[in-house]
Structure 1
Amino acid sequence: MQTQYTLDDLAAEAPVIGGKPARLAVIGNPISHSKSPQMQQAALDYARIEASYIRVLAEHGNFPSVVARLQELGFIGCNVTVPYKTEAYALSTPGDPLAMVTQAVNTLAFNTDGTITGFNTDGMGFARAIRECFSVDLRDLKIVLLGACGGAGTALAHTCALQHCERLTLVNRPRPELARLRDALALSFVDEERLAGSAERLTAFGFDHPALRDYIGEADLIVNATALGLKPTDPSPISSSLISAHHLVYDLQTHDDAFQMQARDLGARVENGLSMLLHQGALAFERWFGKTPSIAAMRRALEKA
């Protein structure tokens, strides 16, 4: 079985894997590392749905053509990962508030009338993952979000704001989107019952800002939503000198990387992105089929992947 497919591979017909036609996919670039097929296939098999789930590599510039071809082949929908979440939004009608405010989606549902509905399950998947991993809710945490302006980072930022977390520090390379994101979230941090105002509870910095050290030092949770860690040679997004044993550390990468290893060495509680992948994937399954999948079956598949 191929590990991934291209638009050329899909020119004739949908692949058939284990006697089951491909009807769902994850699209990205790169994509060979994705664990979504193992997880979603376990959910399909448990539910006795005669379909298979594949990886599709979309070359830059042909993402819309890939989506159109999947529709032609009778696919039910697909997941979307970097760098195509904003392109996916442009091809779809938003199906939930988070998709609308972030203008990025990670789940597409192909409708029988030819239209496409886009969902963003990253945010709620993240919230459920933090609760599962650390036994605490977002609303009770001071959070530093690294890579806040990326597709996943923006979804997580809005989710933290909607959950009214104690404090949110947005960190990104200096760009206009960072200030716009901070301004868009500001109203969620105005609370008459808290002594701190929105300016104290919501901040935004570049990675090299001198004040960042203090905000990270006071944080409960550090989240890596940058692309760093995707490649084995990638460095950590922040210096190890900023991490302490009291920190909770969550990395969206689903494998060990420099950020996780240095945080673990310093005594922090560290979790990778498998739990978020699990919960956002379960939510995607619900959008496609209208029912909850077997979380246990999906978890077992991820543990074996």
Structure 2
Amino acid sequence: MKKYKLAVMGNPIAHSRSPIIHNFFAKAVELEISYEKLLVPFGGFDETVRSFIRKGGYGFNVTLPCKRDAWSLADRLSSSAAEAEAVNTVLIDNNGFLTGENTDGIGLIKDIEVNLAKTIPSKKILVLGAGGAVSGVMKSLVDRNPLGISVYNRTREKSEKLAKKFSGRVEALDLDELADDYDFLINGTSIGIASGQINLPKRILDKVEFCYDMVYDDGLTPFQRWCQENSKCRAYNGIGMLVEQAAEAFAFWFGKRPETLPVIEKLRKEN
């Protein structure tokens, strides 16, 4: 049986659950794989990828902060990756040709609407961040027809650039412009991984019914903890999204989409 060489690349990377998830998937569909974590040094994404290809790599996932690097490096892009200007999954052909995909958007929507049974249409949403992670999910959020989507990013230029892609359906706001009537709050920054104080106005939580951190950590992320300490809303981490986007990535590589709930349950118990 052929053994497929896979990896996840990013920085930091030690926290990644991707090897557990993909090994679970491979066993379920009777494929043999190896799956490793590769720490990408600053400015070293291209070389990390080239080294992986030389060693016989078949495909790889991409996490923070390398999704735009992967988008730039890919030889061909899916429509989702081209729209997002970010890549989280890459398939390598026999000639080393790289095809980039982005499965983050569908992963987020499936976790929120299917696993967590939340409805997005007609909701007012605040999204924190405007980097590759948020770019990867924004079209999927817009397509679900929420009442409105606001984006706050410390660099206003980045949030405005993202908002302009969606013709008035997304607005970029400064910190002092944030409202107090959001239904959903979604964090797409590295707040969940990087240490440090969360400097957001507590009023954004006044009417929030649901907080979602796209990243995850051992136990509560700092963002989850901040939400729960300052409101009565339930705050979820990105474990479900991680598994759902991984299932889409696995299908992109192998044409088979594995079941996700057993893996989500396993990881949530361990977390």
TM-score by length of 1: 0.81
Aligned-residue offset at 1:301: 4.3
Aligned-partner Cα distance in 2 for 1:218–1:37:
39
Task: State the AA in 2 paired with 1:258.
Answer: P
Residue in 2 aligned with 1:262?
Answer: 226
Q: Is the contact between residue 278 and residue 299 of structure 1 (CA under 8 Å) also seen in structure 2?
A: yes
Aligned-partner Cα distance in 2 for 1:118–1:22:
18
Q: Is the contact between residue 128 and residue 276 of structure 1 (CA under 8 Å) also seen in structure 2?
A: yes
Residue in 2 aligned with 1:181?
Answer: 162
Residue in 2 aligned with 1:204?
Answer: 172
Alignment pair present for 1:221 and 2:184? yes
Residue in 2 aligned with 1:195?
Answer: none
Secondary structure in 1 matching 2:71: helix
Task: State the AA in 2 paired with 1:175.
Answer: R
Residue-pair matches, total: 266
Residue in 2 aligned with 1:243?
Answer: 205
Q: Is the contact between residue 40 and residue 298 of structure 1 (CA under 8 Å) also seen in structure 2?
A: no
Match of 1:159 among 136, 140, 158: 140
Percent identity over the alignment? Answer: 29
TM-score by length of 2: 0.90
Q: Is the contact between residue 94 and residue 100 of structure 1 (CA under 8 Å) also seen in structure 2?
A: no
Alignment pair present for 1:108 and 2:105? no
Aligned-partner Cα distance in 2 for 1:23–1:224:
32
Q: Is the contact between residue 4 and residue 32 of structure 2 (CA under 8 Å) also seen in structure 1?
A: no
134-143 or 159-168, larger mean C-alpha shift: 134-143
Task: State the AA in 1 paired with 2:143.
Answer: L
Q: Is the contact between residue 91 and residue 98 of structure 2 (CA under 8 Å) also seen in structure 1?
A: yes
Residue in 1 aligned with 2:253?
Answer: 288
Q: Is the contact between residue 23 and residue 52 of structure 1 (CA under 8 Å) also seen in structure 2?
A: yes
Aligned-residue offset at 1:91: 1.5
Q: Which protein has the larger Cα radius of gyration, Structure 1 or Structure 2? A: 1
Q: Which runs of 5+ in 2 are unaligned?
A: none
Aligned-partner Cα distance in 2 for 1:241–1:178:
21
- Runs of 4+ in structure 1 deviating by more than 6 angstroms, as ranges, are none
Q: Is the contact between residue 178 and residue 204 of structure 1 (CA under 8 Å) also seen in structure 2?
A: yes
Secondary structure in 2 matching 1:139: coil
Q: Which runs of 5+ in 1 are unaligned?
A: 1-19, 190-201
Aligned-residue offset at 1:162: 2.6
Aligned-partner Cα distance in 2 for 1:141–1:245:
12
Aligned-partner Cα distance in 2 for 1:65–1:246:
43
Deviations 1:71-94 (A, max 9, x none): 222222000011111111112144
| Backbone CA RMSD of aligned residues | 2.0
Task: State the AA in 2 paired with 1:44.
Answer: A
Alignment pair present for 1:28 and 2:10? yes
Residue in 1 aligned with 2:239?
Answer: 274
